[in-house]
Structure 1
């Protein structure tokens, strides 16, 4: 069995793009996963053809442009992306970016009181070695917080937490579409952007190899609220840490 090379390309796509190229070209060349919905079928249109399994209770709803994935809190509300061999991330130096549109219900004071300490993932590539040890990355929610987690194979963790603590709960995340972008530069930091604006960062140079799972799972995992739901649209992964201009271009492109 051959050992996968991190982000190796077999279709003449080079992740080491020229930063002087047109931003649209850079975004296209560096896309290694791009979930799209056509004729009610979720598929990867990046050109790498990762396979997608959609479980019965993963619903489709109106999205930012077309239809979006709608997940409720039960075991069969799930979408699994089995990554193509060419995009397996299995190294400690490769940079990457995750982007998607997210819509969640407004978090009330009573909800925070009852469920505010419950953290549950909505998108995850964590590879489980045991019940307590894993490696990879995840996007999770906790109360009215959005959390990005990176964990290396030794169990070392880095997190970014966006605390949406304004006078009105969920000023950003309250039942409306917001654009999430998370860049990861292994030689410096992870950065979390909302609607193109930097909201948080964490230094990640101390992390070792991240041996993530072959699958990316979109699911409400470990959520205690039976009525919870989220909607996710335009989920993409890039094989570089996008810069602010590229993020702005990506964000505005969905309105054109």
Structure 2
């Protein structure tokens, strides 16, 4: 029975968040769609998150340890609007310095808080974030050129691994119905620049490009948020499955 490992380099879209359970995220939707289309095939998913483009190369290195056949890089338009956050490792216990241990540590803190505070998931997550805030440092917003250099470096590194294929997912269109006071006036132009960058790297490196721009509709996003609803993840997951199947990668 064929078993195919697919690694995802992304952010909360790959792991879930309040309102979208992990099993409802687009990677899991894609997995189920491919397995339904190819009976007997099993997709094993591996996740290596990044919060800032500078973390893409080490995230890819981590993902490649699982020997994936496919590495999916999710290019995030929001990173061209706001800076990213990363843990200040110097303020973490020595035993939680690696990326995996960091994630496990944060998850355990959140779970302990959830057990102590009988409140909604959203409120618990917010409280956990407040506790963890001192450990988080904000990176300056990357320029599109800086983002491109990290994406290109990452794709090149993956391409050097035999029998490993790269997929680049472009950003969906932004939620322009957010409170405009918190958004730059050129938000859409910044997203478009990131989209063009992702396409450019894919073309230059011969990677499969998944165009998600037109997948976004007026009901795609969670209210007042930049993140998709579960239905949006379903749309993205089936789109990715069609692209992988059409390219003969699965």
Q: Does the TM-score normalized on the shorter chain lie above 0.5?
A: no
> Which structure: greater helix fraction?
2
Provide the TM-score with structure 2 as the length reference.
Answer: 0.32
Provide the TM-score with structure 1 as the length reference.
Answer: 0.31
> Which structure: greater strand fraction?
1
